[in-house]
Protein backbone atom coordinates (compact mmCIF):
# COMPACT_ATOMS: atom_id res chain seq x y z
CA UNK A 1 0.00 0.00 0.00
CA UNK A 2 1.31 3.48 -0.89
CA UNK A 3 1.89 6.27 1.61
CA UNK A 4 -1.30 8.17 0.65
CA UNK A 5 -3.49 5.07 0.90
CA UNK A 6 -2.00 4.18 4.28
CA UNK A 7 -2.65 7.74 5.45
CA UNK A 8 -6.31 7.63 4.39
CA UNK A 9 -6.81 4.23 5.98
CA UNK A 10 -5.19 5.31 9.26
CA UNK A 11 -7.30 8.47 9.44
CA UNK A 12 -10.47 6.41 8.86
CA UNK A 13 -9.39 3.94 11.56
CA UNK A 14 -8.52 6.76 13.98
CA UNK A 15 -12.01 8.16 13.40
CA UNK A 16 -13.57 4.80 14.36
CA UNK A 17 -11.29 4.20 17.34
CA UNK A 18 -13.63 4.59 20.30
CA UNK A 19 -10.82 4.59 22.90
CA UNK A 20 -9.03 7.38 21.04
CA UNK A 21 -12.30 9.34 20.66
CA UNK A 22 -13.01 9.10 24.39
CA UNK A 23 -9.44 10.18 25.24
CA UNK A 24 -9.67 13.12 22.81
CA UNK A 25 -13.04 14.27 24.20
CA UNK A 26 -11.66 14.02 27.73
CA UNK A 27 -8.58 16.07 26.73
CA UNK A 28 -10.80 18.70 25.10
CA UNK A 29 -12.96 18.95 28.24
CA UNK A 30 -10.02 19.26 30.63
CA UNK A 31 -7.97 21.55 28.39
CA UNK A 32 -10.87 23.97 27.80
CA UNK A 33 -11.40 24.10 31.58
CA UNK A 34 -7.67 24.87 31.93
CA UNK A 35 -7.81 27.59 29.18
CA UNK A 36 -5.11 25.73 27.23
CA UNK A 37 -5.90 27.60 23.98
CA UNK A 38 -4.24 30.72 25.44
CA UNK A 39 -0.85 28.99 25.87
CA UNK A 40 0.67 29.68 22.45
CA UNK A 41 2.08 32.34 20.16
CA UNK A 42 2.98 32.48 16.46
CA UNK A 43 6.02 34.52 15.37
CA UNK A 44 5.79 36.50 18.58
CA UNK A 45 2.03 37.18 18.75
CA UNK A 46 -0.38 35.32 21.05
CA UNK A 47 -2.58 32.94 19.01
CA UNK A 48 -5.74 31.59 20.61
CA UNK A 49 -5.77 28.21 18.87
CA UNK A 50 -4.85 24.59 19.52
CA UNK A 51 -1.54 23.51 17.90
CA UNK A 52 -3.36 20.64 16.16
CA UNK A 53 -5.70 23.06 14.38
CA UNK A 54 -2.78 25.31 13.46
CA UNK A 55 -1.01 22.43 11.68
CA UNK A 56 -4.10 21.50 9.67
CA UNK A 57 -4.78 25.12 8.69
CA UNK A 58 -1.19 25.22 7.40
CA UNK A 59 -1.96 22.13 5.29
CA UNK A 60 -5.05 23.83 3.86
CA UNK A 61 -3.28 27.11 3.06
CA UNK A 62 -0.39 25.26 1.43
CA UNK A 63 -2.80 23.18 -0.69
CA UNK A 64 -5.25 25.93 -1.65
CA UNK A 65 -2.78 28.80 -2.05
CA UNK A 66 -5.50 31.41 -1.45
CA UNK A 67 -5.31 34.92 -2.95
CA UNK A 68 -7.35 36.06 0.02
CA UNK A 69 -7.99 34.81 3.54
CA UNK A 70 -10.85 36.57 5.33
CA UNK A 71 -10.65 36.20 9.12
CA UNK A 72 -13.13 37.44 11.69
CA UNK A 73 -11.69 37.78 15.21
CA UNK A 74 -8.18 39.26 15.40
CA UNK A 75 -7.60 39.49 19.20
CA UNK A 76 -3.79 39.77 19.66
CA UNK A 77 -3.16 39.08 15.99
CA UNK A 78 -1.67 35.57 16.22
CA UNK A 79 -4.01 33.92 13.75
CA UNK A 80 -3.74 36.62 11.06
CA UNK A 81 0.07 36.68 11.47
CA UNK A 82 0.01 32.88 11.17
CA UNK A 83 -2.05 32.95 7.95
CA UNK A 84 0.12 35.72 6.49
CA UNK A 85 3.30 33.80 7.35
CA UNK A 86 2.14 30.66 5.57
CA UNK A 87 1.13 32.78 2.55
CA UNK A 88 4.64 34.25 2.67
CA UNK A 89 6.14 30.74 2.59
CA UNK A 90 3.83 29.73 -0.28
CA UNK A 91 5.14 32.73 -2.21
CA UNK A 92 8.79 32.09 -1.23
CA UNK A 93 8.42 28.55 -2.56
CA UNK A 94 7.25 29.82 -5.95
CA UNK A 95 3.51 29.66 -5.30
CA UNK A 96 0.75 32.24 -5.59
CA UNK A 97 0.58 35.60 -3.81
CA UNK A 98 -2.01 36.00 -1.07
CA UNK A 99 -3.24 38.48 1.49
CA UNK A 100 -5.24 38.44 4.72
CA UNK A 101 -8.11 40.71 5.78
CA UNK A 102 -8.71 40.62 9.53
CA UNK A 103 -11.90 42.01 11.07
CA UNK A 104 -12.47 42.78 14.75
CA UNK A 105 -14.97 44.91 16.62
CA UNK A 106 -12.23 46.11 18.99
CA UNK A 107 -8.61 46.33 17.83
CA UNK A 108 -6.72 47.47 20.91
CA UNK A 109 -4.01 50.07 20.15
CA UNK A 110 -1.13 47.88 21.43
CA UNK A 111 -2.34 44.93 19.34
CA UNK A 112 -2.76 47.12 16.25
CA UNK A 113 0.72 48.53 16.70
CA UNK A 114 2.32 45.09 17.15
CA UNK A 115 0.53 43.76 14.05
CA UNK A 116 1.30 46.81 11.91
CA UNK A 117 5.00 46.69 12.79
CA UNK A 118 5.31 42.91 12.35
CA UNK A 119 7.32 41.69 9.31
CA UNK A 120 4.20 39.82 8.09
CA UNK A 121 2.09 43.00 8.09
CA UNK A 122 2.78 43.51 4.39
CA UNK A 123 0.22 40.77 3.70
CA UNK A 124 -2.35 42.00 6.24
CA UNK A 125 -5.05 44.63 6.32
CA UNK A 126 -7.44 45.14 9.21
CA UNK A 127 -10.98 46.45 9.44
CA UNK A 128 -12.35 47.59 12.78
CA UNK A 129 -16.08 47.07 13.22
CA UNK A 130 -18.61 44.34 13.77
CA UNK A 131 -18.17 41.56 11.25
CA UNK A 132 -21.91 41.51 10.67
CA UNK A 133 -22.38 45.26 10.10
CA UNK A 134 -23.54 46.22 6.62
CA UNK A 135 -20.56 48.57 6.11
CA UNK A 136 -17.94 45.97 7.03
CA UNK A 137 -19.59 43.28 4.90
CA UNK A 138 -19.76 45.67 1.91
CA UNK A 139 -16.08 46.60 2.33
CA UNK A 140 -14.92 42.98 2.53
CA UNK A 141 -17.06 41.99 -0.47
CA UNK A 142 -15.56 44.86 -2.46
CA UNK A 143 -12.03 43.72 -1.63
CA UNK A 144 -12.87 40.06 -2.35
CA UNK A 145 -14.29 40.85 -5.80
CA UNK A 146 -12.10 39.32 -8.48
CA UNK A 147 -10.18 37.07 -6.07
CA UNK A 148 -10.05 33.55 -7.43
CA UNK A 149 -9.14 31.54 -4.35
CA UNK A 150 -10.78 32.73 -1.17
CA UNK A 151 -10.58 31.03 2.22
CA UNK A 152 -12.65 32.12 5.24
CA UNK A 153 -12.01 31.73 9.00
CA UNK A 154 -14.81 32.67 11.41
CA UNK A 155 -13.54 33.18 14.98
CA UNK A 156 -15.27 36.22 16.50
CA UNK A 157 -18.50 36.20 18.52
CA UNK A 158 -19.55 32.54 18.89
CA UNK A 159 -23.35 32.89 19.26
CA UNK A 160 -25.64 31.06 16.83
CA UNK A 161 -27.12 34.29 15.43
CA UNK A 162 -23.74 35.94 14.92
CA UNK A 163 -22.09 32.96 13.22
CA UNK A 164 -25.16 32.43 11.02
CA UNK A 165 -24.91 36.06 9.88
CA UNK A 166 -21.15 35.64 9.26
CA UNK A 167 -21.76 32.50 7.21
CA UNK A 168 -24.31 34.41 5.09
CA UNK A 169 -21.90 37.33 4.70
CA UNK A 170 -18.54 35.60 4.22
CA UNK A 171 -19.08 31.84 3.96
CA UNK A 172 -20.56 32.36 0.52
CA UNK A 173 -17.33 34.09 -0.62
CA UNK A 174 -15.40 30.81 -0.20
CA UNK A 175 -14.24 29.62 -3.60
CA UNK A 176 -14.84 26.12 -4.95
CA UNK A 177 -12.25 23.70 -3.56
CA UNK A 178 -11.44 26.06 -0.69
CA UNK A 179 -12.65 26.04 2.92
CA UNK A 180 -14.71 28.05 5.35
CA UNK A 181 -13.45 27.31 8.87
CA UNK A 182 -15.94 27.75 11.69
CA UNK A 183 -14.12 27.79 15.02
CA UNK A 184 -15.40 26.81 18.45
CA UNK A 185 -18.04 24.36 17.25
CA UNK A 186 -16.72 22.31 20.20
CA UNK A 187 -18.93 24.46 22.48
CA UNK A 188 -21.89 22.27 21.41
CA UNK A 189 -20.15 19.11 22.66
CA UNK A 190 -18.99 20.44 26.03
CA UNK A 191 -20.82 20.91 29.35
CA UNK A 192 -22.39 24.37 29.64
CA UNK A 193 -20.15 25.42 32.55
CA UNK A 194 -17.19 25.38 30.12
CA UNK A 195 -18.72 28.34 28.26
CA UNK A 196 -18.06 30.29 31.47
CA UNK A 197 -20.02 33.58 31.49
CA UNK A 198 -20.17 33.87 27.67
CA UNK A 199 -23.39 34.54 25.75
CA UNK A 200 -22.96 31.23 23.88
CA UNK A 201 -23.21 27.63 25.09
CA UNK A 202 -24.65 24.23 24.13
CA UNK A 203 -27.66 24.85 21.83
CA UNK A 204 -26.45 28.35 20.82
CA UNK A 205 -23.03 28.30 19.18
CA UNK A 206 -21.12 28.00 15.87
CA UNK A 207 -22.07 24.32 15.39
CA UNK A 208 -25.81 24.97 15.66
CA UNK A 209 -25.37 27.86 13.20
CA UNK A 210 -23.44 25.88 10.61
CA UNK A 211 -25.81 22.88 10.81
CA UNK A 212 -28.74 25.20 10.00
CA UNK A 213 -26.83 27.10 7.32
CA UNK A 214 -25.75 23.89 5.56
CA UNK A 215 -29.43 22.94 5.08
CA UNK A 216 -29.71 25.74 2.52
CA UNK A 217 -26.11 25.54 1.27
CA UNK A 218 -25.57 22.15 -0.35
CA UNK A 219 -22.54 23.61 -2.14
CA UNK A 220 -20.66 23.05 1.16
CA UNK A 221 -19.83 19.78 2.92
CA UNK A 222 -18.27 19.07 6.31
CA UNK A 223 -14.82 17.57 5.72
CA UNK A 224 -15.08 14.57 8.05
CA UNK A 225 -11.56 13.38 7.18
CA UNK A 226 -10.12 16.52 8.80
CA UNK A 227 -12.12 15.84 11.97
CA UNK A 228 -10.97 12.21 12.04
CA UNK A 229 -7.38 13.27 11.47
CA UNK A 230 -7.39 15.91 14.21
CA UNK A 231 -9.51 14.37 16.96
CA UNK A 232 -8.22 17.21 19.12
CA UNK A 233 -9.78 20.37 17.68
CA UNK A 234 -11.91 23.34 18.68
CA UNK A 235 -13.70 22.98 15.34
CA UNK A 236 -15.33 19.51 15.16
CA UNK A 237 -17.47 19.53 11.96
CA UNK A 238 -16.22 23.11 11.46
CA UNK A 239 -14.06 22.52 8.37
CA UNK A 240 -16.52 23.28 5.56
CA UNK A 241 -15.33 22.54 2.05
CA UNK A 242 -16.94 24.26 -0.88
CA UNK A 243 -17.55 21.40 -3.29
CA UNK A 244 -19.44 23.15 -6.11
Residue in 74, 181, 182, 226 binding ligand SAM, rule: CB under 6 A: 74
- Closer of 104 and 223 to ligand SAM (Cβ): 104
By CB under 6 A, residue 78 contacts ligand SAM: yes
By CB under 6 A, residue 47 contacts ligand SAM: yes
Residue in 130, 159, 174, 185 binding ligand SAM, rule: CB under 6 A: 130
For residue 242, give the H/E element and its range. Answer: strand 239-242
- Whether 37 contacts 217, CB under 8 Å: no
For residue 102, give the H/E element and its range. Answer: strand 99-104
By CB under 6 A, residue 106 contacts ligand SAM: yes
Residue in 79, 175, 195, 228 binding ligand SAM, rule: CB under 6 A: 79
Widest CA span in the chain: 54
| Ranges within 142-181 binding ligand SAM (CB under 6 A) | 155-157
In whole angstroms, what is the distance from residue 162 CA to residue 169 CA? 10
By CB under 6 A, residue 75 contacts ligand SAM: yes
φ, ψ of residue 43 to 5 degrees: the values are 45, 45
By CB under 6 A, residue 105 contacts ligand SAM: yes
- Whether 184 contacts 151, CB under 8 Å: no
- Closer of 47 and 56 to ligand SAM (Cβ): 47
- Closer of 146 and 239 to ligand SAM (Cβ): 239
Which DSSP state fits 105?
S
In whole angstroms, what is the distance from residue 105 CA to residue 240 CA? 24
Q: Which of 141, 203, 201, 128 is nearest to 168 (CA)?
A: 141
Residue in 24, 57, 103, 140 binding ligand SAM, rule: CB under 6 A: 103
By CB under 6 A, residue 72 contacts ligand SAM: yes
By CB under 6 A, residue 238 contacts ligand SAM: no
Q: Which of 185, 166, 195 is nearest to 230 (CA)?
A: 185
The footprint of ligand SAM (CB under 6 A) covers 47-49, 72-76, 78-79, 103-106, 130-131, 155-157
Amino acid sequence: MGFEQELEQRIRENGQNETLQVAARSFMRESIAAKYSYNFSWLGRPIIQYPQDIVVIQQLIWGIQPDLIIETGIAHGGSIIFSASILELVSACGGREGEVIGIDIDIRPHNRQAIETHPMSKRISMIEGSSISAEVIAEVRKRAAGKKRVMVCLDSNHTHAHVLAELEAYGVLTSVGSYCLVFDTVIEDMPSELSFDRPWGPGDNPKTALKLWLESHPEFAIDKDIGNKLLITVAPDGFLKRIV
